[in-house]
Chains A and B, each alone.
Chain A
Amino acid sequence: MTYMHIGKNFTPPDVEGKVTGEARYAEDFRKEGMVFARLLTSPLPAGRVVSIDATEALAMPGVVGIFTTEDLPQPAAPANPALATEITYLGQPILALAAESDLIAENALEKIRVQYERRPFVTDPLDTLLEGGPDPYPSGNTLVNNGAAAAAGTTASGTDVGKIKWSRDAINQFRAGREPQGVEFGSEWSYGDLEAQFAQCTTIVEEPFVTIGYPHHSLESRTGMAYWENGKCYFHGSLQSHTVGHAALAGMLGMDPADLVFINENTGGGFGSKIFPYPMMAVTGKFSKKLGRPVQLRITRDEEFYIGSARSGMQGWIKVGLKEDGKVGAVDTIIVNDAGSGGGGSGSSSAGHISIMFQPEAMRFRGVSLYTNTTPRGAQRGPGQNEMAAVLAPIMDKAARQAGIDRVALRRLNAPRPDAKHGPRQGGISSSYMPEAIDQAAQMFNWEERIAKPRRISANKVRGIGVGLGYHSAGSGGYDGLVRIMPDGKITLHTGVGNLGTYSYAGVLRAAAEVLQCDWANCEIMHGNNDLHLPHSTYQGGSNTIFTETRSSYVAAQDAVNKLKEIAAAEFGGSVDDYSIGGERVFQTADNSKGMSYAEAAQKAIEMGGAYSGEEFPDELNATTKRSVTAMQGTGLIGVAKDTLPRSGTQPGMCIAFAEIEVDTDTGKFDIIDYTAVAECGTVVHPLGMRQGMNGGGVWGFGMAGYERHVYDPQNGLPANVGLYQSKPPTYLDVPATMNIGAVDLPDPESPVGAKGLGEPAQGCAVAAITSAISDALDGHLFNRAPVTADMIINQVAMNNFNTGELKTNTF
């Protein structure tokens, strides 16, 4: 299909501000009378605040106030409180203090005396899973869902903290890489006849595995600036999403959303940690209200490590069976997730990755998500799927070797086709061109030639060739779209999508411009400030934006086109079917002299009123959209609609990557010589944006494969790698100088422009390709861990048996 805008590069309007320094982030805003708030955080991993004496701090010149748990109701555990008296992780905020300057605030914090009561702590989930082991919360170690009881009114909350314990024998079995017997799980699912399918398999691989969580480390540390004027709250924040964040923030602040102005045009990274408002935002808004002054609360880099969220870790066991023909017959897996303090594990999603990417005939997942006294865990780029991709790739490579099948051939044989089934319910998918993606990438990488290369390069260098797959569900629906044609001919395209750096906020509006067949230069994008009249848009996460919001943009623009034709028909006669659009005019198809410009039609819309100019609108719209349309009444021709386009099953965003690495056997360091990745993301809307997402995901994959992890001292519960240098997000020198990116570029039938997302699978395929390549370089050795660090590689080369970790996690 030939498009006017889809598939073409364009310059998103915010790029210039980013290169000139004019783009403003939350901390760049000032307000007269603004004070600076800082957090006092816990020095203990577990305990209780007994008393707080802030007398000396409050008496200091320039200190204007303090904000504690007395000012903010405490949610029931395990919900993550903004400020806490029950300490469940080191770095947990206890109170906030505001002063005339940041220096005064920081000095004053040191004058506050806090008495603590210590409690035993735990940093390894298996230590709390062990019968008699310490619990991270006073009441237990795992989430209990009380949905039914909450609905019946017999508990205050839908969730609670409960306990799951395994016997020492079971823990020992699990640590030794065997299936634990007679144990309790928190969740499980299965499909097919597992036993019968394993019986038909000729190749069986059974392995333990560990992935370690790590912080998001968004470069813009969490910042908010809030002030109250004339009953309204103005909040400059840092979120990935906009309108869904706006409504949730209003709820946190206990106010009518109509009175909250949320301003967030730019966000300095989120990666899943800023999809929805985070607890600290309640402190900013409510502290400002308490003081009656603008408050800026910006946390430090250290605090971003502690409260900026992190990926969950896994300790697991997996058994994979291949049939004679190489088809995956059965998979059985157990996953213990590290949910940190009050977070959540993603074990089921991890298993879901296997289910869709290898299509086993039968599968079982059993899992338990356990809290530890480490930083709270939350969604991080492909939560569950990507860490599974990391450990699964070498395991599937081993299965391929045992079965005598080429590694790429194994993946292609089992790749999802359009009729693929997915997950515990074996639901369908909207599209899959994964075999085509594998073929395209293998050709780009020249797999056949490379795989034949000798592995030994020199006395201390060996080559590794790897392949990996990434997956994430990449679509949703039911959100609203909003466009306006103004009497001066300008077109405003409105989106409540956030701006987290993918440019999808602009990309999704290309679908509206496509429908309107208008000049992009004549369009103005309205985003980032709900005073600009934004519709109810999707959460910006889960790789779903491009699919979900091209649909809502499309239906809104279609509504505008229908209204254009109705207005023209009223003026020139005939029915809407007699009219066409083009060149920003609506005209009779048979006689294009009978028509009017968009500008003239917009003027007519204002005169006609009703639905044409926003005085009336569909009742099915979200309240946020209704407010925006109401505010725009009479200003032009309004196109507004809720996305009710048909949608079935899952929209799979998928990627494949290949990597060639050189491992230095003296140092354990590896260099990525070549990286090639292909996206199966439907139609490409914005080619440069697609490359940006694939490259960024690739870098995140390299980080997960070789560098990033939590390290806690198990003796005292202190984290050892808080800063960026120690946490080690990849730098320029950890990634290849050039990355080769492609896309299948074939349409998903459930998107009006054929598009679906790629941000998360772009990481999954990269980490898998690297762990696959490391294993390949070391004669097929399985580390069964992510990351695989340089010391682990040296230990393996030296054959010194130092790598026997027995599923140890969150440590060296």
Chain B
Amino acid sequence: MNINLTRRRFIKSVIYSAAAVSSSAGWQLASAQNRPAGGVERLVSINVNGRTRRVDVLPQETLAHTLRYKLNLTGTKLGCNRGECGSCTVLIDDVNHYACSTLTHSVKDREVTTVEGLRAADGTLHPVQAAFIEELSPACGFCTSGQIMSTVALLKENPKPTRDEARHALSGNLCRCGAYDHYLNGVMRASGQLS
């Protein structure tokens, strides 16, 4: 166990891993290791919640960082910042991903959806959000955004999951309050299987 595993070292390890498996990305990412603190930001366009957002991004910057610190989308939470808890879950092309473990540069041509992007234009809550309210699914609420995004991803792929399928699909989302039963009730209500 590396007792000094800081966020920065974690990001470095992500970069080393990425460099090892992708020769095309290798030069840029590996060279980022030798840059001074912060590196050089580059202006990129990313599609977030249906809007194109232009933002200066560091080479090693995670999507969670960009969303929270540069786009002020603070609904995406950082519980661990190392891919363990799922509080930062967002959709990338309708598939749930940990934003803390995704480099922002890797989503340039893809559609990112955060919890703030679920409401309809008229303000109507997404069915998953409404169901989670009805079932009092959140407890402290810190993991709720991630639970919702994983549920939205699940229901896109499997509109009528069994309770067991739902708990497997959400198993990457930790709830320290232990509100799992209520979240699963929310999933079943959102999928029209609980009245």
Binding site for B on A (CB under 8 A): 9, 11-12, 14-25, 27-28, 30, 43, 60, 62, 90-91, 101-104, 106-108, 217-221, 266-271, 300-302, 500-503, 688-689, 691-692, 695-700, 718-726, 729-733, 735, 737-739
- Taking CB atoms and an 8 Å cut-off, the chain B residues in 165-195 that contact chain A are 167-168, 170-171, 173-182, 184
Verify B179–A269 contact, CB threshold 8 A. Answer: no
Chain A, Cβ-Cβ closest to B116: A21
Identify the closest chain A residue to B144 (Cβ).
Answer: A18
Q: In chain B between 93 and 138, which residues have their CB closer than 8 angstroms to a CB of chain A?
A: 114-116, 118-119, 125, 128-129, 132-133, 135-138
Contact with A along B66-84 (1 / 0, CB 8 A): 0010001111111111101
A28, A108, A698: the one within 8 Å of B74 (CB): A28
Interface pair A301/B80, CB less than 8 Å apart: yes
Measured CA separation A689–B138 after assembly (Å): 10
Given contacts A268-B140, A722-B3, contact A19 B37 (CB under 8 A): no
| Nearest 5 interchain pairs by C-beta | A21-B75, A699-B178, A501-B140, A268-B142, A18-B141
Query: CB distance B3 to A500 under 8 Å?
Result: no
**Residues in A neighbouring B5, C-beta threshold 8 A:** 302, 722-723
With A11-B133, A20-B115, A730-B178 in contact, do A692 and B139 touch (Cβ < 8 Å)?
yes
Q: Report if A103-B132 is in contact (Cβ < 8 Å); known contacts: A219-B85, A719-B1, A724-B84.
A: no
- Tell me, in angstroms, the Cα distance from A11 to B131 when the chains sit together: 12
Any chain A CB within 8 A of the CB of B54?
A: no
* Complex contacts, A103 vs chain B, CB 8 Å: 8, 37-38, 58
Counting CB contacts under 8 A, is B163 at the interface? Answer: yes
Q: Which of B114, B138, B139, B177 has the most CB of A within 10 A?
A: B177
B17 within 8 Å of A (CB atoms): no
Chain B residues lying within 8 Å of A729, measured Cβ to Cβ, are 174, 176
11 sampled A-B residue pairs with Cβ under 8 A: A16-B125, A19-B144, A22-B116, A43-B4, A104-B37, A107-B8, A218-B176, A219-B77, A268-B142, A301-B81, A695-B181
Is B148's beta carbon under 8 Å from chain A?
yes
**Contact call B140/A107, Cβ cutoff below 8 A:** no
Q: Which residue of B lies closest to A10 (CB)?
A: B136
A302-B171 contact in complex given A15-B136, A723-B80, C-beta closer than 8 Å: no
In the complex, A219 Cα to B177 Cα: how many Å? 9
Q: Within the complex, which residue of B38, B80, B167 is in contact with A724, where a contact is CB–CB below 8 Å?
A: B80
Q: Is the interface of A mostly helix, strand, loop or mixed?
A: loop
Given A103-B8, A301-B80, A739-B181, check contact A726 B1 (CB 8 Å): yes
Contact A219 B79 (CB under 8 A): yes
* Interchain CA distance A606-B119 in the complex, whole Å: 42
Contact A21 B79 (CB under 8 A): no
Q: How far is the CB of B158 from chain A (nearest CB, A)?
A: 16
Cβ B178 vs Cβ A735 within 8 A: yes
Q: Provided the pairs A19-B125, A219-B85, A267-B140 are in contact, do residues A722 and B179 lie with their beta carbons within 8 angstroms?
A: no
Q: Chain B nearest CB: distance from A269 CB in Å?
A: 5
Chain B residue at minimal CB-CB distance from A697: B178
Q: A103-B8, A731-B171 are in contact. List 19 more A-B contacts (CB 8 A).
A: A20-B118, A43-B4, A60-B37, A219-B174, A300-B81, A301-B81, A302-B5, A302-B6, A501-B141, A502-B139, A688-B136, A688-B182, A692-B136, A699-B178, A724-B84, A732-B180, A733-B168, A735-B178, A739-B181
Question: Does the CB pair B136–A20 fall under 8 Å?
Answer: no
- In the assembled complex, the Cα of A4 lies from the Cα of B81 at a distance in Å of 45
Q: Are A300 and B6 in contact (CB under 8 A)?
A: yes
Q: In the complex, which residues of chain A have a beta carbon less than 8 angstroms from the beta carbon of B170?
A: 732
State whether B140 touches A500 (Cβ < 8 A): yes
Q: Are A19 and B138 in contact (CB under 8 A)?
A: yes
Q: Are A738 and B180 in contact (CB under 8 A)?
A: no
**Cα-based distance from A108 to B129 in the complex (angstroms):** 42
Number of interface residues of B (CB under 8 A): 64
Indicate if the CB atoms of A14 and B141 lie closer than 8 Å.
yes
Residue in chain B with minimal CB distance to A221: B79
B181 in contact with A738 (CB, 8 Å): yes
User: What separation, in Å, do the CA atoms of A17 and B132 have in the docked complex?
Assistant: 11
- B37–A62 contact, CB under 8 A? yes
Looking at the assembled complex, report how far the CB atom of A275 sits from the nearest CB atom of chain B, in whole angstroms.
14
Question: Would you call A19 and B6 a contact (CB within 8 A)?
Answer: no
Question: What is the minimal beta-carbon distance from A12 to any residue of chain B, in angstroms?
Answer: 8
Once bound together, how far apart are the Cα atoms of A269 and B128, in whole Å?
23
Nearest Cβ in chain B — how far from A87, in angstroms? 14
Contact status A738-B1, CB under 8 Å: no
Chain B min CB distance to A185 (Å): 35
Instruction: Establish whether residues B163 and A21, one from each chain, have CB atoms under 8 Å apart when the complex forms.
Output: no
Q: Are B182 and A695 in contact (CB under 8 A)?
A: yes
Known A-B contacts A219-B87, A692-B136, A731-B171; the reply to A737 vs B163 at CB < 8 A is yes
Is there an interface contact between A219 and B138, defined as CB atoms closer than 8 Å? no
With contacts A103-B38, A219-B176, A300-B81 taken as known, whether A719 is within 8 angstroms of B140 at the C-beta atoms is no
**A residues in contact with B79, CB < 8 Å:** 219-221, 268, 301, 724
- Chain B residue at smallest Cβ distance from A101: B38
Q: CA A30 – CA B71 in complex, angstroms?
A: 12
Contact: B142 with A219, CB < 8 Å? yes
Most chain A CB within a 10 A radius of its CB, from B72, B118, B139: B139
Whether the pair A732, B171 counts as a contact (CB closer than 8 A) is yes
- Among A17, A90, A689, A696, the residue within 8 A (CB) of B178 is A696
A21 touches B74 (CB 8 A): yes
Asked if B143 CB lies within 8 Å of chain A CBs, one says yes
Q: Which residues of A contact B87 (CB under 8 A)?
A: 219
Contact indicator B136/A732 (Cβ below 8 Å): no
CB–CB A25/B77 < 8 A: yes
Residues in A neighbouring B145, C-beta threshold 8 A: 21
Assembly CA distance A729 to B37 (angstroms): 35
Known: A219-B176, A301-B79. A16 touches B133 (CB 8 A): yes
A102 to B78, CA, bound (A): 14
Interface centre among A19, A24, A689 (most CB of B within 10 A): A19
A-side contacts of B116, CB under 8 Å:
20-22
Determine whether B7 belongs to the interface, using a CB cutoff of 8 Å to chain A. yes
A718 with B3, Cβ < 8 A, contacts A19-B148, A107-B37 known: yes
Q: How far does the alpha carbon of A730 sit from the alpha carbon of B173 in the complex, in Å?
A: 11
CB neighbours of A107 from chain B (8 A)? 8, 37-38
**Contact between chains at A219 and B179 (CB < 8 Å):** no
B184 touches A737 (CB 8 A): yes
